[in-house]
């Protein structure tokens, strides 16, 4: 029976990946930064699947060398999901960038040493379409430009997360290009947009912030920008499919189900009984003023008045992806926020 190593098993996407893998008959070994969260992970997974005798745990840290080689030994595949997530302002960009890049290196080198069949990295659309001012159409082959002077996390800390995901993914591809052919393993990346949908734990994930801000009253009005959405279950399923599909090697997989105006998201919530969702959108100058006092709102300033056109060609053509309806994902997310009393 094949065994899959999943880094970051307690996280929003990681839990869904583990669930999908166990459903398909794999044994999973997952890393936690703190092994004390083991029972929390088991409890979360047992809501949807019996993980008895199908799940192993280990304690690993993205910032430390110890244990990676030993823990990945005996695993056939690796899903590297773990990465620091921080949306909004951060005092020191290196607190996000260094763990993302160094953690990727540690996991990748251990996977290569143990000659796994395939290494799947959870990257992000941030590595495809961040920092552009005039470009609105993106596909799997596009790259965020780390040399763009307007995309400097040390001058504008709001870019730290996007920079970390881009640099980590570039590190993956550059490292694979640099090693001997005999040492290479198959790799690919998953590049989702804003991930929403039901969480398997009480942690709703950072990306669901976009929904929460329409529910908790912190945004008294909507904003005129396009938001690209994908359901977390789709993201997990595409990790597994990319792991086993023979044609997925050396590919990037942009995942975006639908792009809609943020006001449309608010309207979906409001007509389905979530009455705090704003009825009106504010002019862009009001949003820019509001962003001076809310670091989370600053994340959207470059998108004001813009709606992207995204083409997830590799996922559609290679992985045969049939995306879920994101309107249902929006409502599932909102309902869970209320059920967990996080609003």
The residues annotated with a catalytic role in the active site are 165
Taking phi over 0 as left and psi of -120 to 50 as alpha, with beta for the rest, 3 belongs to beta
Specify whether the CB–CB gap between 169 and 127 falls below 8 A. yes
CA proximity to 132, closest of 122, 119, 118, 145: 145
Mode of pairing for the β-strands spanning 258-261 and 226-231: antiparallel
Residue 78 CA to residue 28 CA, distance in Å, equals 10
**Which DSSP category does 189 fall into?**
E
Residue 35, strand partner residues:
none
Angle at alpha carbon of residue 62, lines to 59 and 68, rounded to 5°: 55
The distance of Cα 270 from the centroid of its chain, to the nearest Å, equals 27
CA proximity to 105, closest of 188, 209, 176: 176
Rg (CA), the chain: 20
User: In terms of residues, how long is the chain?
Assistant: 343
CA proximity to 5, closest of 81, 67, 62, 61: 81
Q: State phi, psi for 71 to the nearest 5 degrees.
A: -75, -30
Both structure tokens of 192: 């989702």
What kind and span of H or E run contains 5?
strand 3-7
Q: What is the DSSP track for 159-188?
A: GHHHHHHHHHHHHHHHHHHHS-GGG--EEE
């Amino acid at each position: 029976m094949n065994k899959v190593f999943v880094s970051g098993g307690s996280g929003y996407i990681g839990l869904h990946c583990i669930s999908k893998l166990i459903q398909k008959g794999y044994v999973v070994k997952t890393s936690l930064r703190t092994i004390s969260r083991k029972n929390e992970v088991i409890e979360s997974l047992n809501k949807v699947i019996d993980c008895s005798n199908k799940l192993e745990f280990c304690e690993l840290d993205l910032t430390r060398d110890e244990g990676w080689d030993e823990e990945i030994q005996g695993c056939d595949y690796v899903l590297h999901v773990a990465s620091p997530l921080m949306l909004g302002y951060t005092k020191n960009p290196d607190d996000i960038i260094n763990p993302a890049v160094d953690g990727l290196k540690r996991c990748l080198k251990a996977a290569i040493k143990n000659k796994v069949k395939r290494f799947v990295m959870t990257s992000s659309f941030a590595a495809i379409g961040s920092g552009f001012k005039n470009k609105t159409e993106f596909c799997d082959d596009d790259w965020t430009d780390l040399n763009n002077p307007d995309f400097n996390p040390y001058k504008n800390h709001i870019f730290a997360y996007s920079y970390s995901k881009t640099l980590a993914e570039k590190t993956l591809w550059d490292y694979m290009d640099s090693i001997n052919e005999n040492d290479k393993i198959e790799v690919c990346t998953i590049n989702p947009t804003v991930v929403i949908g039901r969480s398997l734990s009480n942690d709703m994930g950072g990306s669901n912030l976009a929904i929460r801000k329409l529910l908790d009253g912190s945004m008294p009005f909507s904003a005129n920008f396009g938001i690209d959405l994908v359901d977390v279950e789709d993201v997990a399923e595409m990790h597994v499919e990319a792991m086993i599909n023979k044609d997925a090697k050396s590919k990037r997989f942009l995942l975006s189900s639908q792009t809609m105006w943020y006001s449309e998201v608010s309207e979906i919530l409001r007509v389905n009984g979530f009455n705090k969702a704003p009825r009106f959108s504010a002019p862009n100058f009001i949003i820019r003023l509001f962003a001076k006092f809310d670091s989370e709102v600053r994340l959207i300033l470059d998108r004001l008045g813009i709606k992207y056109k995204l083409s997830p060609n590799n996922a559609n053509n290679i992985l045969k992806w049939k995306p879920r309806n994101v309107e249902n994902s929006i409502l599932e997310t909102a309902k869970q926020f209320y059920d967990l009393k996080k609003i």
